[in-house]
Amino acid sequence: MPVQPVFVFDRSILDRLEDRKDARVQFIHEQVTKLDESLRKLGGCLWCAYGTPEEAHRDWLNRYPEVQGVVSNRDYEPYARTRDQRLEAMYRESGRWFVGAKDQVIFEKNEVVKDDGTPYTVFTPYSRKWKARLLAQGVPTHDSLERLPNGVRRGQEAPSVPTLSQMGFEPSSLPVPPMTWDSRRLAEYARLRDTPSQEQGTTRLGIHLRFGTLSVRKLLLASQQLSETFVNELIWRDFYQMVLYYEPESPFKAIKPAYDRIEWERNEAHFERWCSGQTGYPLVDAGMRQLNATGFMHNRVRMVTASFLTKHLLIDWRWGEAYFAQKLLDFDLASNVGGWQWASGSGNDAAPYFRIFNPQSQLEKFDKDLRYVRTWVPEFGTDAYPKPMVDHAWARQRCLERYKSGLAQAQS
């Protein structure tokens, strides 16, 4: 059966982006353009549209009545699930079929669950079941390059991929990390991953996993024998996708409802100092400045900055989640929400609320020579650098009291 690849630049998503130089949009545009060029070399092309998915698919169905159905890789985000339900209804009402396929995870939704069929809420038993299933069935692989040439649809031309300017965007100057890694980096991952000054300490492949330019199965096969720690990170990724599937309101509500009774500070001035990296805590400030300048933040520092916002400043985790969503090149809703609910104590398998990172001791442990801090906070140690905006001991005690009070109200 001939196959026609299609892609939609979804205005429902793009129109909400405030930054018209968003590097993620440029990255997607470059990858879609490359895909179209590759397909044309095979004698086909990419049907590409700019609009809503419903508009694009309705137009294709009207113009090409010979289309029999569509295969779509499943997405577990709430908007995507609603979108796909609407498209499925459209296809079935017109007498066509709609098939969803697993792609972006190793195991999805109900493939790794408890013996009674309910989802796991704690990572460790989930990871044990995940590894047991992997051992039993291995890693399935699908070489699309072997299947595509003889099956690509031919003789149906389509308009060229819309330009960035046609979609209201401009080129970005932010570089995207390359889709490269080597065995040495994976083998050293466990030793180096918590050192933010180590540029080769992590793979920085998040954006490629997020947008599907890198197969998670290929990465798992490459890392299985080299780093159990790295494989665990891939399991965390599956875990958070599963959590989002079963907790579709988690981007807006605490998974543990009692935590929505906590009285958050709505101090916009404090939030702005956190966003701009002017808190007076050098590891926090270095992380926020790295994020603002590059679209990337080291994972260890993500935990420290998130803990500082929610525990030291007592600012709602949803504010921080939204800011990371705006800035991170590798933004993924499931992992971002999962990480922020972990930091605030409100999510599945979250850090207990009384676990409050001391940003100074974190600095001494993971950047004792100040290489990372000096890179992003060059004025540190001078009069130009601000004093700490809150005292750690005072902030910790305030946090404990505020959390205890909110959780007590939920129980009463």
244-275: pLDDT as tens digits: 999 999 999 999 999 999 999 999 999 999 99
- In order of 141, 210, 253, 270, the CA distances from 311 in angstroms are 43, 29, 18, 13
126-140: pLDDT as tens digits: 999 999 999 999 987
159-206: pLDDT as tens digits: 789 999 999 999 999 999 999 888 999 999 999 999 999 988 999 999
Class of domain 1-101: alpha beta
Least confident of 81-90, 122-131, 175-184, 238-247: 175-184
Give domain 257-411's CATH architecture: Orthogonal Bundle (1.10)
Q: What is the mean pLDDT of the chain?
A: 94
Q: Which residues contact 230 (CB under 8 A, 6 or more apart)?
A: 186, 189, 190, 203, 223
Percentage of the chain surpassing pLDDT 70? 96
**What integer pLDDT is reported at residue 8 of this predicted model?**
97
Arithmetic mean of pLDDT, 298-326: 97
pTM listed for this prediction? 0.94
At 351, the pLDDT band (50, 70, 90 cuts) reads confident
- In order of 129, 209, 213, 242, the CA distances from 218 in angstroms are 21, 11, 11, 20
Q: Which residues contact 93 (CB under 8 A, 6 or more apart)?
A: none
Give domain 102-142+181-246's CATH architecture: Alpha Horseshoe (1.25)
At 125, the pLDDT band (50, 70, 90 cuts) reads very high
- Is the pLDDT at 42 greater than 80? The verdict is yes
- In order of 5, 33, 276, 367, the CA distances from 148 in angstroms are 10, 17, 47, 48
Q: Give me the residues paired with residue 72 across strands.
A: 100
- The beta strand positions in 280-345, using DSSP E, are none
**What integer pLDDT is reported at residue 150 of this predicted model?**
52
> What is the rounded distance in angstroms from the CA atom of residue 277 to the CA atom of residue 299?
17
**Which residues are known to be catalytic?**
233, 236, 264, 299, 317, 340
Q: Which residues contact 210 (CB under 8 A, 6 or more apart)?
A: 330, 331, 332
Arithmetic mean of pLDDT, 352-360: 91
By the 10 Å C-beta count (0-12 exposed, 13-18 middle, 19+ buried), 398 is classed as middle
Q: Which two tokens stand for residue 36?
A: 């179209």
Dihedral of CA atoms 47, 19, 266, 290 in degrees, nearest 10, equals 110
Angle at 194 between CA 274 and CA 293, to 5 degrees: 40
Domain ranges of the chain: 1-101, 102-142+181-246, 257-411
Backbone angles phi, psi at 356, to 5 degrees: -125, 110
Half-sphere exposure of 203 (CA within 13 A, CB side): 28
Phi-psi region of 280 (alpha: psi -120 to 50; beta: other; left: phi over 0): left
Q: Which residue stretches of 15-122 are H helix?
A: 23-41, 53-63, 78-93
**What integer pLDDT is reported at residue 1 of this predicted model?**
72
- With residue 162 as reference, give the H or E element that holds it: none
**What integer pLDDT is reported at residue 160 of this predicted model?**
81
